[in-house]
Structures are given as structure tokens and as C-alpha cells.
Structure 1
Amino acid sequence: MKTTLAKKETVTHDWKIVDASGLILGRLAVQIANALRGRNKPTYTPHVDTGDYVVVINAEKVKLSGSKEEQKQYMFYSGYMGNEKYRTVADFRENRPEFIITNAVKGMLPRNKLSSGMLTRLRVFRGEEHEHEAQQPSPLLS
């Protein structure tokens, strides 16, 4: 029996859409990361980028379990002494809710050269409207 490996030239990237309203962040991020990697396709090959484009809408309505809304913190460090800053999920939900989903998905992608290309295929939008209707995305979660 032969094993077929996907090639970079023959891979087609489909478009998927996810409505994040009411979904738990970690479970949503796993599904998005698997779609970006191509783990849900029969032609999955670890060393080839076989994933799809993923459009996420309603990023501000994603849920977190427990008391993570106020207790979970993101740290930013500029490199200067004493210049580390902490921000909570509630701060990001007001200003940049796209960061919450993007950061969670980035943490679930592999740490290799393919991951930056996979992350560029993730499009996260705050509300219902997105600019990718022309690509006719199909729903990722059924």
C-alpha cells in the first residue's frame, strides 16, 4: 500500500467561517488551529501547509470558562527594565477582541517555519460583517 504525501503545488486552500458567539475560547481555538494546519483533511501531511483559510466573526462574544475574564492576564515586555505591562481579557474585549482569538490559536500552532504562514490565513472580525463573502466560505463547525 502506498502512502501519498501532499505537495505544495497541488494543495488547494478552501475558505471556512466560524461564528464565535457563545463558544468557549480554548475549544474554538483547537478547531481553528486544526483547520489552519489541515488536520481535518485526508491529505494532511505534517511538513506541508495543507490548511484552509478561516474567517472568525463575532470575536467579542467568545466565552471563557471560570473566572478567567478578570484573572487571566497577558504580559507584554518591551525589553527595558521594569517595563512589563499586564492586561486582562476584559481590557482586550473592549479594545481589540481579535487579539484574544488570534493569541489562543497562535499558541496551539506548532513552533516551526510553517506556523507564520498558517497564522496569516486566520482572519478575525469583531462583528457580523466581514470582507470575504466573495470567497463563499463554508461553515467549519457543524
Structure 2
Amino acid sequence: MAKTYSPKAADIKREWHIIDAKGQTLGRVATEVATLLRGKHKAMYSPHMDTGDFVVVINAAEIVVSGNKLNDKIYYHHTMWPDGFRQENLSDRINRHPTWPLFDAIKGMIPHSKLGRAMIKKLKIYAGAEHPHSAQQPKEYEFKYLKES
């Protein structure tokens, strides 16, 4: 009977991917980025280990959503003070912090544990086209299902 392969920490080779989110749909980009962060695109994927790659997302401020989500999608939080319930719609959040909606979508798609917190540290999101990671030589990542810009 063959043994099941379990990746070792020394076997994991992390690559850097760059994704241009300009004109792309929020959820479609988020699912692809979450897949890369988790390492599900690799043959050595294991759900209990962080086998994923580093991901740099540029032009996050120019992401699009379908339908009327800019006005209808509401983000809620509470400050833990009396009368501290806060809410804002997607368009206000994009205007205030352009990278937050994409970050929140990706964070919701990875494990909510120590493992997920380690994975999210490999994510770098920038509102514009400039990023400081050129020394890592990130490769342009090609998606099958994303719109051509």
C-alpha cells in the first residue's frame, strides 16, 4: 500500500504573482487570489499547511462590481461603545480605503484560524499601479475566467 504524501516545510517553494485588478469583478479576483494564497493551484496542496504563494494585487481602486452593489452592499461593524453601530456602503468604502473591499473579500475566503492569518500575510494590495515588490520579480498571473481589460 502506497503512503500518502505530506509536504514538508523544506519542500514548499513560494513564488510571487502579480495581478492587475483594473476592470475586473471583485469576487472573481478574490477567488483566484484566495486560491493562490492557499496553494490549491499546486499538486502538493495540503489543507493543514500553508503551501501558497505571495500575491501582489495592483489597481485595486479600479475594481468593478455587477448590479447595484455599489449602493446596496453594506459593511457593518460595531465600535463596542454605546450607540457604536456603524455601516457604510461599498462606494463609500472604496472612496475612503480603496483596498479594503478586496482585502475583506479575500480574507473571508481563507481559513479563520492561525493558518489563515499566516496566509493573509502573503497578500499585498495596492490602490494604484505602483508597488515596491519589483525586487521579488513577480510573474504576471494569467486567469482563465477573468475579463480581458
TM over 0.5: yes
Distance of 2:129 and 2:48 partners within structure 1: 34
TM-score (norm: length of structure 2):
0.90
Mean alpha-carbon deviation: is it higher for 82-91 or for 53-62? Answer: 82-91
Number of the residue aligned with 1:23: 24
Is 2:113 the partner of 1:112?
yes
Secondary structure in structure 1 of the residue aligned to 2:107: helix
Q: CA deviation at 1:93?
A: 1.5
Distance of 1:92 and 1:78 partners within structure 2: 17
Q: How does 1:97-108 map to 2 (within 5 A)?
A: 97-108=98-109
Q: CA deviation at 1:59?
A: 0.3
Is 2:82 the partner of 1:87?
no
- Kindly provide the amino acid, as one letter, of the partner of residue 6 in structure 1: P
Aligned residue pairs: how many? 142
Is 2:146 the partner of 1:140?
no
Mean alpha-carbon deviation: is it higher for 28-37 or for 108-117? Answer: 108-117
Mean alpha-carbon deviation: is it higher for 78-87 or for 126-135? Answer: 78-87
Number of the residue aligned with 2:73: 72
Number of the residue aligned with 1:125: 126
Number of the residue aligned with 2:147: none
Distance of 2:141 and 2:35 partners within structure 1: 11
Distance of 1:118 and 1:130 partners within structure 2: 20
Q: Alpha-carbon deviations, 1:120-141, whole Å to 9, x = none?
A: 1100001011000110111223
Mean alpha-carbon deviation: is it higher for 53-62 or for 79-88? Answer: 79-88
Distance of 1:41 and 1:13 partners within structure 2: 11
Q: Alpha-carbon deviations, 1:104-126, whole Å to 9, x = none?
A: 00011122220001111100001
Secondary structure in structure 1 of the residue aligned to 2:56: strand
Unaligned stretches of 5+ residues in structure 1 = none
Is 2:31 the partner of 1:47?
no
Q: CA deviation at 1:76?
A: 1.6
Distance of 1:47 and 1:96 partners within structure 2: 32
Runs of 4 or more above 4 Å deviation = none
Secondary structure in structure 1 of the residue aligned to 2:11: coil
- Kindly provide the amino acid, as one letter, of the partner of residue 109 in structure 1: I
Q: Alpha-carbon deviations, 1:28-83, whole Å to 9, x = none?
A: 11100010000000110111100000000000111111100111111121112321
TM-score (norm: length of structure 1):
0.95
Backbone CA RMSD of aligned residues: 1.1
Secondary structure in structure 1 of the residue aligned to 2:76: strand
Secondary structure in structure 2 of the residue aligned to 1:108: coil
Q: CA deviation at 1:5?
A: 1.2
